[in-house]
Amino acid sequence: METTANLKGLPSLEGIEAPPLTFFQLVWLRFKRHKMAVFGIVVLILLILYSTLGALFFTEADANITDTSIRLSPPSAEHPFGTDPIGRDILARTIFGGQISLMIGFVAVLVEVFIGVLIGAIAGYFGGVIDNILMRFTEAMFNVPQLPLLLVLGKVLADKVPPITIIGREFSGSVVVIIGVIGLTSWMGLARIVRANFLSLKEQEFVTAAHCIGTGNASIIFAHILPNTMAPIIVNATLGVAYAIINEAYVSFLGVGVLPPTATWGNMLNGAYRYIDSAPWLWIFPGLFIVLTVLSINFIGDGLRDALDPHALIDLN
């Protein structure tokens, strides 16, 4: 081939031929067109950097120092976000509270994805009695009201669960309880999606072909079928992070989520309602962080949904 090209004085194909795009390159290409999703990613990364790198300038002790002499002071050079009713620095608290809020969002989703995928995959793949039992269980779980459960368990278990230490930071038992309850009560939708996809994918010929080379059930489920249904799982998990953060904020705002002195964006709002007019900095900053996080994650979720769906029409302009 090359010699014929050279004989005719044509340039060789070397260097002109582009290698085909991988799946993730393709997804990124489509994702990039979704302006709001890109905005979401940038904001989310900034928020993560804010709450992680911020820890280089403050210690957790700084965030918990109370000094009633400077209580409710408005934003100033020394306390850029002001102080709260017992004189703690709001800037430092949003940094450490952000770590907890974001971590609750991500870890709760890990729990959710693990349970949802496991139950959905097994139910869809094996079908029959197993499917019946697992799906009835899923429906039963749908009937467990999540918020009252969070409120009750948050109150009852919070001081019974021992604190744990991850990467040099101690998390109180109430954080573990919140993560557990959110994770254990929000996997059902994902399980149904995964089951539905498994029901159709297991009938595909490549699954029969995998059986034919002697692949076992576990390997067919997790190595052959699961990668084919990653798109809905990724989208669902992304949106699940926002949902978990909102839920944490909700119960912490009511004062039964993550217990002080550990800060979260949610429990910083607890009590702020008494100062809505007189000290707006109490709720503006944590509120702003919650809104930005949830909004950007939802945009990312939307962008991923479109980017991962090969049939989606994307406006090229």
How many residues make contact with other proteins (CB under 8 A)?
Answer: 20
Q: Which residue from 38, 210, 234, 254 is in contact with other proteins, where contact means CB under 8 A?
A: 210
208 binds other proteins (CB under 8 A): yes
For residue 268, count CB atoms less than 10 angstroms from its CB and return exposed for 0-12, middle for 13-18, buried for 19 or more: buried
- Site map (CB under 8 A) of other proteins, residues 214-233, x = contact: xxx------xx--xx-x---
Say if CB 129 and CB 122 are below 8 A apart: no
Q: How far apart are CA 239 and CA 30, in angstroms?
A: 19
Neighbours of 43 (CB within 10 A): 17
Q: Please state the closest distance from residue 138 (CB atom) to other proteins, in A.
A: 23
Residue 13 found at the interface with other proteins (CB under 8 A): no
143-202 residues in contact with other proteins (CB under 8 A) are none
CA 56 to chain centre: 24
- Give min distance, CB of 110 to other proteins, in A: 22
Rule CB under 8 A: choose which of 10, 56, 129, 213 binds other proteins. Answer: 213
Q: Does 15 bind other proteins (CB under 8 A)?
A: no
Identified binder of other proteins from the candidate list 24, 204, 273, 312, rule CB under 8 A: 204
Compare residues 62 and 131 and give the one whose CB is closer to other proteins: 131
Inter-residue contact 112 to 122 (CB < 8 Å):
no
Nearer of residues 148 and 227 to other proteins, judged by Cβ? 227
Contact between 30 and other proteins per CB under 8 A = no
Closest CA to 265 of 187, 137, 169, 178: 178
Interface of this chain with other proteins, residues 60 to 119, rule: CB under 8 A: none
- Residue nearer to other proteins on the CB measure, 23 or 142: 23
205 in contact with other proteins (CB under 8 A): yes
Distance CA 110, CA 101 (A): 14
Q: What is the CA radius of gyration of the chain?
A: 25
- Residue 74 or 216: the one with the smaller Cβ distance to other proteins is 216
Report the alpha-carbon distance of residue 162 to residue 178 in Å, rounded: 13
- Find the helix packing angle between 128-142 and 188-201, rounded to 10°: 160
Residue 10 CB, shortest distance to other proteins, in Å, is 22
**What's the min distance (Å) between Cβ of 204 and other proteins?**
6
Question: Is 206 one of the binding residues for other proteins (CB under 8 A)?
Answer: yes
User: Between 77 and 218, whose beta carbon lies closer to other proteins?
Assistant: 218
Q: How far is the CB of 199 from other proteins (least distance, A)?
A: 13
285, two tokens = 């900053």
Amino acid at site 278: S
Q: Which residues contact 266 (CB under 8 A, 6 or more apart)?
A: 101, 248, 249, 250, 251, 252, 253, 257, 258, 286, 290
Q: Quick check: 130 binds other proteins (CB under 8 A)? A: no
Judged by CB, which is closer to other proteins: 14, or 205?
205
Query: Least Å distance between CB 133 and other proteins?
Result: 17
Whether 155 and 181 have beta carbons less than 8 Å apart is answered as no
In whole angstroms, the minimum distance from the beta carbon of 21 to other proteins comes to 11
3-state DSSP call for residue 41? helix
6, 12, 23, 78: residue in contact with other proteins (rule CB under 8 A): 23
Half-sphere exposure in the Cβ direction for 2 (13 Å, CA): 4
Binding site for other proteins (CB under 8 A): 20, 23, 128, 204-206, 208-216, 223-224, 227-228, 230
